[in-house]
Structure 1
Amino acid sequence: MSVDLSNLRRVVATSAAVVTALQTATAVAGIRRGRRDYADAAWGPGLAAIAVTGAVVGTGDPARRWALAAVTTAWATRLERLMLQRLAGSDEEDERYTEFLEGDAVPAVAAKVFLTQGLAQLVVSAPLQLAAASALPRTRRRWLFPVGVAVMVAGAVVEATADRQKARYTARDREERPDVLDTGLWGWSRHPNYFGDSVVWDGAWLAAAASAPAAWTLPAPVAMSYFLVHATGARRTEEKMQERESYRDYQDRVSFFVPLPPGR
């Protein structure tokens, strides 16, 4: 077997400890200040911390360990900058959290937000953890590693490009900008930033799957895609925007998630 099980246990345990520390610190700060939405700022750093932990503690192929850590950290750094700008730009808690947690006591908030997010980080990063404790095979399967890293980079570029396009649209004068952003990547997908994010984690799985046992971590990128579409991302946006006639027309013309040529 290409996996060092003893080292894998160490990687998993250390990753869990790091995530627990980060989520605990974020929970304390967020709950004290009445900003449970601080959890958003812990998502990227938590995943980057797990990747770096694997690179440091793992004994698997060093090139793969550090490549995955580098790409994940770069992805998380850009995302974190966006999250901090958004949080700093408002004195009010994100209404999603206010509605979701209405009437909940501190223990319930800690469990529903911070504990849940910590567990999600450990699940999504399972390919990274397994890769950190695995050797690369000598067969052609080893080429899944560079291919997977390339897919991660491509996904990160799509996500960053979509976010830049959205930022430029939002910065335009309200009276001059169109009702709906439907140019650039947003003319091919209604949620290209979330799509790019999902591709990042598809690539991470692919790079890890160069070692056969890591292929069994396929539920990890599937879970990330579910989170992005249903739990916190695209579907919620659709529900909020559907009241606008211009957005309903946009829905008829443009693919929901996977970028495709516009309908007309």
Structure 2
Amino acid sequence: MNAIPWGDLALNLLAVTLAVVIFVGLIMAAAIRLKNQSIIDIFWGPGFVLAAIVSYLMSIGGDGNDTRRLVVLLLTAIWGLRLGLYIGNRNRGHGEDRRYTSMMRQRKSGSLIVFLVRRIYGMQGALIVVVSLPVQFAMYQERSIGVIGSIGIVLWAIGLFFEAVGDWQLARFKSDPSNAGKIMDRGLWGWTRHPNYFGDSVVWVGLFLLALGAPWGVVAIVSPIIMTKLLLSFSGKAVLERGMRRSRGEAYDVYVASTSGFFPMPPKRSRADV
């Protein structure tokens, strides 16, 4: 059993935290200038890429397995950059997201920067640091990837498939004017109402498994737990479904009744089909 590299992990966490603070601070400055706080969404994925790059560089010359380090860096970069490019392309020309506009209306007085740090950027930065723990820990695991790590890579690939294909299918559906006002219930969206969120969760389970080169890596389980909780209860599924119920009404209720809310499952038959 390899000893826990407390010193290396502490220095790595400090370096990642400092890098993320600077990164998020620059985004906040740009958002204030552009009067569009929703640009932070574009940089959510790339923020994890930054954490992976810093961790990779910090771990050079250490005892971490080189193959594991490189694989984790590449997997995180592919996931984070794809997500950033997708959201950037999706949001182009649409102005500030109404969620952030509503949040900004809640500011009555006081420092704008303090308000933004408390309500948006502080939390976003903290989440990047904490959720990226598997990526940070994996850089200091001495063992080769092995069976558990290989399972992690497979899960990461499955997750990326659901996330990327789900996003592509939805974008293609929305690009067709004849689908205006309709509910996307085809492809992966016929098996789960949120293939992209499900895929995101599975990606981080896979990265967590890649941090299990030694028993102390189990601490990083907080990462997929927090990510899944966010996707289900906070910024993801819960918020989106409230909006869909308001805008689509009964049609969305029918979709909910026939389609799994998260884990992919065969669509249920509607009463009309029985």
Shift of 1:177: 6.2
In 2, the alpha carbon distance for the partners of 1:201 and 1:218 equals 9
* Residue 229 in structure 1 maps to residue 236 in structure 2: no
User: 1:43-95 deviations in whole A, cap 9, x for unaligned?
Assistant: 111101111222221121111111011011011111111121133221x3111
Cα pair 1:19 1:50 within 8 Å, conserved: yes
Give the TM-score normalised by the residue count of structure 1.
0.93
1:110 aligns with 2:114: no
Count of aligned residue pairs for this structure pair = 259
Shift, 1:178, TM fit: 7.5
**Matched-pair contact (CA < 8 Å) for 1:4–1:134:** no
Structure 2 unpaired stretches of 5+: 270-274
Return closer, same or farther for 1:200/1:152 CA change in 2, 3 Å cut-off.
Answer: same
1:20-99 equivalence runs, <5 A: 20-58=21-59, 59=62, 60-90=64-94, 92-99=95-102
Among 193, 196, 200, the alignment partner of 1:193 is 196
Report matched runs for 1:72-221 at 5 Å: 72-90=76-94, 92-104=95-107, 105-136=112-143, 142-174=146-178, 179-221=182-224
Alignment counterpart, residue 245 of structure 1, candidates 234, 241, 250? 250
Mapped to 2, the partners of 1:221 and 1:195 lie a distance apart of 11
Q: Any gaps of 5 or more consecutive residues in structure 1?
A: none
Amino acid at match of 1:152: W
Tell me how far 1:101 sits from its aligned partner. 3.0
Does the C-alpha gap of structure 1 residues 173 and 146 become closer, same or farther in structure 2, counting only changes over 3 Å?
Answer: same
Q: TM-score, normalised by structure 2?
A: 0.90
RMSD: 1.6
Mapped to 1, the partners of 2:255 and 2:37 lie a distance apart of 33
Residues 198, 225 of structure 1: 8 Å contact kept: yes
Equivalence for 1:263: 268
Percent identity of equivalent pairs: 30
